[in-house]
């Protein structure tokens, strides 16, 4: 495990999230609800972008993948067959003095961390939330909020196979809410009771599972790096065989250097044929695969990369966060990858005069048809740049009186704070090209590099 010092504190991330409207405590006016969070106007854009980046890489850009969306409420027999009713537990201890409850495996000492009191013996606590289906609150009507999205893929294995005529190896992917009645929550959105997952079940021929396990571990690490996570902030932690989850043959956590230290961001698991066999036995349905080439029926093995949206979003925020000295103040800048940035472009007219406003608004309306764009004409240009830096907007476009005459605008890039002046007719295409990785100083026809920076203070 890499020993490194986290580059940002959780206080700074929480404070920026609160201040700029990324994440709020759930039901805050009532004092909040422990382990639940609400995404604000910028947070939801960031979250949608994280989900889209995953969906694009895992489903849309691949021939061997399909997506589905299954319901949160599932037949209670699902959770008996999957083993969750029996095994999806954490060890719980309670303080005999203050009655607070803790996860035994998270404690470093055998006494209450709150008051020092004596603790009860460990007991296993099932993390699934229970509710009733229909109007009668009877035990026979008990159902559960799903604790993982994965079972939706397993119970639909045959539906997908029959309707898409897939050949192995192929995967089924899904994103959606999961719920766990965690004994202790904390570290902001890292561990909550309601969260979102992005999971993929990759069905392979038994015997090829080890090769595919390595493949997916690498793919997933590369995905984080491609979207802005520093490679040195990622690590792999192999689970000890004796501590594997009830369904797993091999599990590796991809860990990230969060402000509180190295913690799991994603799990990659080799689930063998456990789930399909369990559901086949419990439902009486055949859940196997006919191999055209070898003329045999068999139950595929499964490799599963499973990640929490909220947990990966927190990692993207941590690695984007930077502070730089800036005259007497500090410039806080979120260096989000452009594909994840909640706002891609800000249009900043240098005056509120009507002729310039109308002109700038037309540019804004044109850009926002395909790019998340903000219009901001309040306060000094320097303050507006800082506001956009703090929410991670990669490009700011200043519109000045000269623009009315030469039909050109100045584009300023967030990280290096370099500026180019380009024709408005080239603006959208140029920004899209830069977002896709083109060198910022590569100019479109009629463009020039602005040598003297527009005064930012
Ligand atoms: N289907 C396998 C599965 O659910 P997991 O390791 O329990 O495996 C997968 O969960 C991912 O879901 C974790 O790596 C984490 O990113 C996220 N996750 C799990 N519990 C969470 C919680 N209480 N709050 C936020 N994210 C959570």
Reported as half-sphere exposure (CB side, CA atoms, 13 A), residue 355 has a value of 6
What per-residue confidence (pLDDT) applies to 456? 64
Residue nearest atom 12 in ligand 1 by C-alpha distance: 308
- 420: which 2 tokens? 């180019």
In this prediction, residue 327 carries a pLDDT of 80
Partnered with residue 296 across adjacent β-strands are 291
Q: How far is CA 274 from CA 222, 247, 270, 279, 399, in A?
A: 28, 6, 10, 9, 61
132 - beta bridge partners? 142
pTM above 0.75, yes or no: yes
Radius of gyration of the chain (CA): 26
Q: What is the pLDDT of residue 274?
A: 96
Query: Which of 231, 238, 177, 181 has its CA nearest to residue 213?
Result: 238
pLDDT recorded at residue 186: 85
- pLDDT score at 329: 86
Low pLDDT (below 50) residues in the chain? 1, 454
Count of Cβ atoms closer than 10 Å to residue 430 Cβ = 21
By alpha-carbon position, which residue is closest to atom 24 of ligand 1? 191
Whole-angstrom distance, CA of residue 264 vs CA of residue 266: 6
Q: Which residues line ligand 1 (CB under 6 A)?
A: 148, 150, 180, 182, 191-192, 195, 197, 199, 264-267, 304, 306-308, 310-311
Supply the DSSP symbol for 300: P
Residue pair 50/340 in contact (Cβ under 8 Å)? The answer is: yes
Q: What does the alpha-carbon distance between residue 10 and residue 28 come to, in Å, rounded to a whole number?
A: 19
Question: Which residue's CA is the nearest one to ligand 1's atom 27?
Answer: 308
CA distance 268 to 273: 15
Start-to-end Cα distance in the chain: 43
Distance 381 CA to ligand 1 centre (A): 43
Distance from C-alpha of 78 to C-alpha of 423, rounded to nearest angstrom: 59
Token digits of residue 365: 């309306």
CB 422 within 8 A of CB 446: yes
Separation of CA 69 and ligand 1 centre (Å): 18
Distance 266 CA to ligand 1 centre (A): 7
Identify the pLDDT of residue 199.
98
Compute, in angstroms, the gap from residue 132 CA to the centroid of ligand 1: 24
Tell me the sheet residues that pair with 268.
252, 305
Query: Which ligand 1 atom is at minimum distance from the Cα of 190?
Result: 25
pLDDT at 455: 52
Judged by DSSP in three states, 124 sits in strand
Q: Are strands 101-103 and 89-94 parallel, antiparallel or unpaired?
A: antiparallel
366 burial type by CB count under 10 A (0-12 exposed, 13-18 middle, 19+ buried): middle
Distance CA 376, CA 384 (A): 7
């Amino acid at each position: 495990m890499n020993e490194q010092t986290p580059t940002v504190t959780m206080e700074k991330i929480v404070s920026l999230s609160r201040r700029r409207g990324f994440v709020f405590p759930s039901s805050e006016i009532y004092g909040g609800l422990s382990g639940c969070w609400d995404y604000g106007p910028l947070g939801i854009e960031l979250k949608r972008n994280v989900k889209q980046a995953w969906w694009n890489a895992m489903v849309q850009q691949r021939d061997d993948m399909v997506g589905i969306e299954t319901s949160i409420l599932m037949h209670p027999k699902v959770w008996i067959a999957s083993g969750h009713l029996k095994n999806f537990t954490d060890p719980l201890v309670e303080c005999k003095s203050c009655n607070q409850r803790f996860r035994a495996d998270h404690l470093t000492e055998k006494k209450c961390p709150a008051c020092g009191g004596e603790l009860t013996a460990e007991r296993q606590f099932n993390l699934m939330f229970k509710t009733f289906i229909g109007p009668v609150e009877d035990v026979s009507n008990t159902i559960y909020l799903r604790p993982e999205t994965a079972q939706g893929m397993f119970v639909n294995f045959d539906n997908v196979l029959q309707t898409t005529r897939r050949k192995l190896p192929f995967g089924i992917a899904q994103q959606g809410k999961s719920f766990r009645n965690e004994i202790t929550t904390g570290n902001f959105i890292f561990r909550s009771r309601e969260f979102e997952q992005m999971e993929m079940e990759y069905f392979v021929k038994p015997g090829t599972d080890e090769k595919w396990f390595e493949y997916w571990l690498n793919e997933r690490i590369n995905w984080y790096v491609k979207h802005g996570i520093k490679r040195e902030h990622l690590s792999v932690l192999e689970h000890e065989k004796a501590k594997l989850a009830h369904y797993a043959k091999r599990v590796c956590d991809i860990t990230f250097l969060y402000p509180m230290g190295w913690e799991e961001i994603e799990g990659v698991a080799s689930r063998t044929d456990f789930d399909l066999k369990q559901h086949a036995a419990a439902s009486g349905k055949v859940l196997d695969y006919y191999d055209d080439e070898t003329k045999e029926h068999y139950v595929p093995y499964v490799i599963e990369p499973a990640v929490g949206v909220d947990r990966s979003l927190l990692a993207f925020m941590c690695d984007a966060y930077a502070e730089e000295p800036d005259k007497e103040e500090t410039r806080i800048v979120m260096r989000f990858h452009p594909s994840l940035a909640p706002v891609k472009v800000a249009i900043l007219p240098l005056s509120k005069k009507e002729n310039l406003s109308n002109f700038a608004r037309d540019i804004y309306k044109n850009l926002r048809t395909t790019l998340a764009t903000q219009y901001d004409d309040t306060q000094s240009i320097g303050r507006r740049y800082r506001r956009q830096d703090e929410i991670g907007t990669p490009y700011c476009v200043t519109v000045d009186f000269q623009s009315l005459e030469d039909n050109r605008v100045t584009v300023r890039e967030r990280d290096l704070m370099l500026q180019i002046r380009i024709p408005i007719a080239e603006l959208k295409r140029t920004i899209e090209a830069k977002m896709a990785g083109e060198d910022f100083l590569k100019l479109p026809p009629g463009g020039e590099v602005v040598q003297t920076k527009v005064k930012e203070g």
